[in-house]
Chain A
Amino acid sequence: MAIDTGLLTNIGFYVSISIIFAILALGFNIQWGYTGLFNAGIAGFFLIGAYVTAIAITLPAPPIVIAGIPVYPGHLGGFQLPFVAGALLAMLASGATAALVALPTLRLRADYLAIATLAFAEIVRIFAINLESVTGGTIGIILIPRPVEFRPPDPFLNTTAIVGIGALILFALLFVLQFIAESPWGRVLRAIREDEEATMALGKNAFRYKLQAFALGGALMGLAGSLFAVTLVYVEPSVSFAPAVTFSVWVMVIVGGSGNNRGAILGAFLIYGMEFLSVQLKDFAPAALKDTIFYIRLMIIGVLLILLILFRPSGILPEKKRVLR
């Protein structure tokens, strides 16, 4: 073939993961950017979406024992639903859990919600690692079928198909969310962020709106998890859903501009681009930096968080200023 499909596959992988992070960022933008609800457990909702989809669409996976040694604990599954059903189930599960987690803390100050969600994400991860008969333990769930599978396996075409599906979902989401943001419902959310008491004085049930916004954001994170499961074709609990994922999404939304959907997407592509480059450049880095480049990347994210929140909290694409007419 004339074109270098290896490089293109690599770029396609970057774009597909960026799309997943963009959906996560959009979900967080509804919660934090519009409503002012601070979610510190993005990784938890992401995980629920990924596992629900993985369990819904895989073949049955009984435990594997070779010569008396358990090799793979197996996982719940064998439903073999189509991807669309898996994604809808994932959204439902993540959205419902988001509502449940938010229920006791939404009436309290923002930091209670942050701590409760962080605790929730860690508990979910503990369950994913230890509840082996459902989740496959530390190995996770493997052999997840792609929504569009090319035979014989062609990494380039498979990646292209995933990018296409992801882009379709992302554009549809952007369209719907822009519409929602301009709707009366979105206006109430922004009003709650600016002054909750004044909004309540105007007769709006702030608690109900906050719950709806939080659940919607959680559902989007579940959708991102669902796409993640079919992009990697496996899910494992220790790296993909660590708290660092949550912090990355924060940086994306704050860099791009909280309260601005296009900004959230831009931030996701930029920050994941940086992470992706740091992994790609690992082979070219000097020997002394080779092992530590991953950690240095996380340190840079930390420095970025501090500098941005200090000096440019509105991000690259700030929220549109709305003036009373």
Chain B
Amino acid sequence: MAAISRSESPPGTERPRWRWEALRPTPRFRRQLLRGLLVALIFIGIVAGLALLFGISIIQYTLAGFVVGTIVVVAAIGLTLIYGIRGFANFAYGDLMTLGAYVALFANLLLGASLPWGVVLAFGVLAAVGVLLEVLIFSRLEGRGPVPPIVASVGISLIIQNGIRAGVGTQQWNFAVTAIQDVVIVPGLGIHPVRGIATLVVGLSFMLSVHIILKYTNLGKAMRATADNLELAKATGIDTKRVTYAAWAVSCAFASTAGVLLGLGSVISPTMGFDVLLLIFAAVILGGIGSPYGAMLGGLIVGLSQEMSVPLLIWLGRPDVIGLEHATAYKVAIPFIIMIGVLLIRPWGIAGRPPAFGRRAFFVERLSRALSRKPTLARKVKRDDIGG
């Protein structure tokens, strides 16, 4: 399309084209990059300060936070894609992750393939499952609001979870990966080559590939257009049906990889996916529903806040402070507290776009308006005085 519009301009006036013109950073992107770097610097400063104050274990928790955050990011990107395009919360997403992990496990243990091949197999199988779900169930529920698809997805979740329990059993499994010790960076600070480094690398490559697909391919552009406004996308001639299938395939394939990463980090069990589903929802809502970049940001915030709250909770659990029993068990609640805070102040998420018709009066605004009612009245009176 770009070629057609270019050929319309008279010959000779065309500027010499850089070969990778599409990749040249726009001013907006440069601004965002600068802002991101600033935030990253501040974050590193805070972590360094905390580490100086409380010892190196803070950095260990931060690393753990990044690993958990990466898994949540991969899952949240997949969830937010379907959320944006089909407009409902897929409650079966956690169990699709479990299914992906079990497919990889099947390839890993029964077929004797190495884990990367298991990941590839799970990727393909889950993509097919995603398209099948859309064809069989969700396409029939189009236009009935957000709740009927949620109910159907819970049905799918129950079927997958209990199907695995009935078919494979409730015991816990591990991938057949050679056991490796943590790599020690500094005494007291280590990272596991598979659980840590491989997860981070896979997560980063997924984030990068999503960015490239969404920004530089026709499919990605069509996806963004469909998520933005379905009717307008249809009117523009985008085959929204095909886009929806593609989104389901990508979403479920991401679920499978996130499931494998999750199983690599701990154990594989029938409820492993459902247990982290809420974290993924928190990430999606934090970042702004339907926004993949928001999902990346939200996933990192969820992972970091959960893991970095551990030292704080351990401190709270000391008998001379509050003496909270099993204090670290509450770490999963921390992302939700942040999520509720975001819902109160910016319901459309950190990176999401506010609703079109101005900002609706949400809870906090009403509160602030109620608190500042007196000054408004005073001003009115003054104006009346001038008028009189």
Q: A residues near B, CB below 8 A?
A: 32, 36, 38, 40, 73, 103-105, 107-112, 114-116, 118-119, 122-123, 126-127, 129-133, 243-244, 247, 250, 254, 292, 295-296, 298-299, 301-306, 309-310, 313
Contacts and interface: CB of A to CB of B under 8 A. Distances in A.
Q: Which label, helix, strand, loop or mixed, suits the secondary structure of the A interface?
A: helix
A137 B321 CA distance: 21
Given A104-B340, A247-B158, A309 B146 contact: no
Contacts of A110: 145-147
Contacts, number: 124
B166 interface: yes
B155 A302 contact: yes
Interface stretch (B26-34, B45-53, B101-109, B331-339): B331-339
A292 B148 contact: no
Contact of A115 (B89, B163, B363): B89
Nearest to A101: B340
A306 B281 contact: no
A116 B341 CA distance: 12
A298 B270 CA distance: 14
Contacts of B117: none
Max chain A C-beta neighbours (<10 A), residue from B165, B166, B329, B340: B166
Contacts of A119: 278, 281-282, 336, 339
A114 B362 contact: no
Interface in B109-149: 137, 140-141, 144-148
A122 B277 CA distance: 11
A228 B69 CA distance: 39
B166 A309 contact: no
A306 B152 contact: yes
Contacts of B157: 302
Nearest to A118: B278
Interface residues of B, number: 46
B89 A303 contact: no
B150 A111 contact: yes
B295 to A, nearest CB: 14
Contact of B362 (A38, A107, A303, A305): A107
Given A107-B360, A250-B154, A129 B282 contact: no
Nearest to A307: B155
Given A126-B329, A299-B163, A309-B148, 18 more contacts: A38-B147, A40-B91, A40-B150, A104-B363, A110-B145, A110-B147, A112-B347, A119-B282, A119-B336, A126-B330, A129-B329, A295-B166, A299-B166, A302-B154, A302-B157, A306-B137, A306-B156, A309-B152
Given A111-B88, A304-B155, A104 B278 contact: no
A114 B145 CA distance: 13
Contacts of B154: 247, 250, 302, 305
A36 B146 CA distance: 11
A65 to B, nearest CB: 15
A115 B281 contact: yes
B141 A114 contact: no
Contacts of A133: 325
A301 B154 CA distance: 10
B369 to A, nearest CB: 14
A247 B343 CA distance: 25
A132 B325 CA distance: 7
B150 A122 contact: no
A310 B326 contact: no
A23 B237 CA distance: 51
A152 to B, nearest CB: 38
B285 interface: yes
Given A132-B326, A309-B151, A302 B158 contact: yes
Contacts of A309: 141, 148, 151-152, 155
B152 A292 contact: no
Shortest Cβ-Cβ A-B pairs, 7 listed = A302-B158, A305-B155, A306-B155, A295-B162, A292-B166, A130-B326, A302-B159
A146 B215 CA distance: 65
